[in-house]
Amino acid sequence: MNRGWTDPAVSQTDTIQQLVAREILDSRGRPTVEVEVHCHSGAWGRASVPSGASTGQFEAHERRDGDPSRHDGLGVRRAVDAVLHELAPVCRGLDPSHQEELDDRLRACDGTPHKSRLGANALLGVSLAAARAAAAAQGIPLVQHLFRLWRGIAAPESAPSATSPDSPGSGLRFEPRLGRQLLMPLPMVNMISGGLHAGRNLDLQDWLILPVGAGSYHQALDWIVLVYRRLGTVLTERGLEASLVGDEGGYGPRVADNEIPLKLIVEAIERAGLRPGDDVALGLDVASTHFFRDGTYHLAAGKGQTLSSAGMAELLESWVDRYPLISIEDGCADDDWAGWRHLTQRLATRVQLIGDDLFVTNPGRIREGIQRQCANSVLIKLNQIGTLTETLQALRLTLAAGYRPVVSARSGETEDDLLADLAVATGAGQIKIGSIVRSERLAKYNQLLRLEEQLGDRAGWLGRGLFSAPTP
Ligand code: 2PG
Ligand code: MG
């Protein structure tokens, strides 16, 4: 790759001639949409669409056939038809590099707030394949094209400022380089899975590690693999199941309560010869919406616990006190705004509090959360909102408020690796792909290795800088 990146003039590059779409299978063996965008010049791009298991109620709609005679109703032939018969006509003749215009047309064609008529899976397949086709038409790497699109996304007119003293993120220093340059993302990696991703043995969904002390992306990856292997040994020695893995490749051990995985992972970090906290810190995706009923959090593991929102915050704080835990996702449920506010007041100066089900990558909900001073970080998932442009807008809004974005895959993935280019191009700083095994995950980790090599000094690495000590 040309390190100097000659930026071809943004002019008419090519026009879309034809769309191809098909039903393929994702990493859980469930149908998903794949789209090809073909241009008149012969340039083309292909993309496939991920799918969640712990989907938030406010996400864009994923269209499934509902025909019980095929894939238990999970087929996506109707979404494929929507691409071929409704979206293709509105895309034809359009320059694929005009992403905003293309995505506007896709949304207008669907015509519903949550993309429920044609399906966000249909729209996203087209949106992402068009980005790939545009890169091909210009003869530039995808990461370069995405970087250009990212720079073209305007900052929102009003958002609480990053430096505002009452910003919930103000206790954790906001890294000013986020979103401003190409960055290799710090991976947040699943080690142990529970919840909807691993047979509900445990209540929480992900116990993760963040290799904050690594000096580069490739060193971070080396450490992650080592900790994962050592964790396998720790589990085997304790007679815990170390061969079954969850949907994202994390171990799914049968342990007695939700705290034990924290201890096991700390031990694995030490066995890897690394320092818990300094080299490798811990993260959680509590995914608490899935055990929140009637205003109460129902934890089933161990002796079982029924907690109020305040009780939930207390439990999480006790873990922050005792473990090198620096990131907590969905510590409260997606409609528990009061709980979120309390959790934020209590912990936002100490840890990253990520909203996933809470925000669903939706600029409207992110704005509401910022105004209500909930969380200090936003999980960014393409298929929660359904087009590339809206995803980039959600990212802009996140950064403009001084919140940190974490670009994320879904539990159902394909071998598509666009997410890696997206994370680097937007300078999001962090990425969450799942665990370090299974090729739908490795497709992205390995693409990041290539990007690191190809981009060299052009792509920065923040590592621990993302989580520096609270400012006094
Ligand atoms: C999450 C994601 C990815 P899912 O909750 O953060 O781990 O899971 O894709 O099932 O929503
Ligand atoms: Mg989540």
Q: Which pLDDT band holds residue 7 (cuts at 50, 70, 90)?
A: low
Q: How far is CA 165 from CA 160, 169, 346, 373, 470, in A?
A: 10, 9, 16, 12, 13
Return d(Cα 267, Cα 431) in angstroms, integer: 24
> Which of helix, strand or coil describes residue 31?
strand
- Summarize pLDDT for 204-217 with one digit per residue, the tens: 999 999 999 999 99
> Which pLDDT belongs to residue 9?
59
Q: Which residues, including other chains, have CB under 8 Å from residue 363's CB and lie 6 or more apart?
A: 156, 385, 390, 393, 394, 397
- With a 6 Å cutoff on the Cβ, whether 53 touches ligand 1 is yes
CB 90 within 8 A of CB 83: no
Nearest to 384 by CA among 51, 142, 11: 51
Q: Which pLDDT band holds residue 199 (cuts at 50, 70, 90)?
A: low
CB 289 within 8 A of CB 337: no
Return d(Cα 238, Cα 353) in angstroms, integer: 32
Exactly one of 34, 36, 59, 248 is catalytic; name it.
248
- Summarize pLDDT for 148-168 with one digit per residue, the tens: 999 999 888 766 554 444 455
Exactly one of 34, 59, 62, 381 is catalytic; name it.
381
- Summarize pLDDT for 391-416 with one digit per residue, the tens: 999 999 999 999 999 999 999 999 99
Return d(Cα 113, Cα 452) in angstroms, integer: 38
Return d(Cα 354, Cα 290) in angstroms, integer: 16
Structure tokens at 184: 């290799």
Return d(Cα 112, Cα 197) in angstroms, integer: 30
Question: Phi, psi (5° rounding) for residue 454?
Answer: -70, -35
Return d(Cα 367, Cα 28) in angstroms, integer: 33
From the CA of 53, the nearest ligand is 1
Query: Which residues does residue 434 pair with via DSSP β-bridges, in sequence order?
Result: 189
Q: Mean pLDDT, to the nearest integer, of 13-39?
A: 97
Pocket test for ligand 1, best of 408, 430, 431 (most atoms within 8 A of CB): 408
Reply yes or no on whether the pLDDT at 292 is more than 70: yes
Determine the distance separating the centroid of ligand 2 and the alpha carbon of 19, expressed in angstroms: 32
Structure tokens at 40: 């008149």
- Summarize pLDDT for 357-376 with one digit per residue, the tens: 999 999 999 999 999 999 99
Q: Mean pLDDT, to the nearest integer, of 296-320?
A: 95
User: 99-110 vs 388-400: helix axis angle to the nearest 10?
Assistant: 110
Determine the distance separating the centroid of ligand 1 and the alpha carbon of 140, expressed in angstroms: 31
Determine the distance separating the centroid of ligand 1 and the alpha carbon of 52, expressed in angstroms: 6
Return d(Cα 289, Cα 293) in angstroms, integer: 8
Cα separation of the two ends of the chain: 43
pTM of the model: 0.95
Determine the distance separating the centroid of ligand 1 and the alpha carbon of 174, expressed in angstroms: 25
From the CA of 188, the nearest ligand is 1
Burial of 163 per CB tally in 10 Å (0-12, 13-18, 19+): exposed
Determine the distance separating the centroid of ligand 1 and the alpha carbon of 469, expressed in angstroms: 28
Pocket test for ligand 1, best of 381, 433, 435 (most atoms within 8 A of CB): 381
Q: Which pLDDT band holds residue 8 (cuts at 50, 70, 90)?
A: low
Nearest to 443 by CA among 95, 103, 163, 26: 26
- With a 6 Å cutoff on the Cβ, whether 175 touches ligand 1 is no
Return d(Cα 302, Cα 266) in angstroms, integer: 20
> Which pLDDT belongs to residue 121?
98
- With a 6 Å cutoff on the Cβ, whether 51 touches ligand 1 is no
Atom 5 of ligand 1: nearest residue by CA position: 54
* Residue whose token pair is 């929140």: 292
Question: Phi, psi (5° rounding) for residue 338?
Answer: -65, -40
Active-site residue flag, 248:
yes
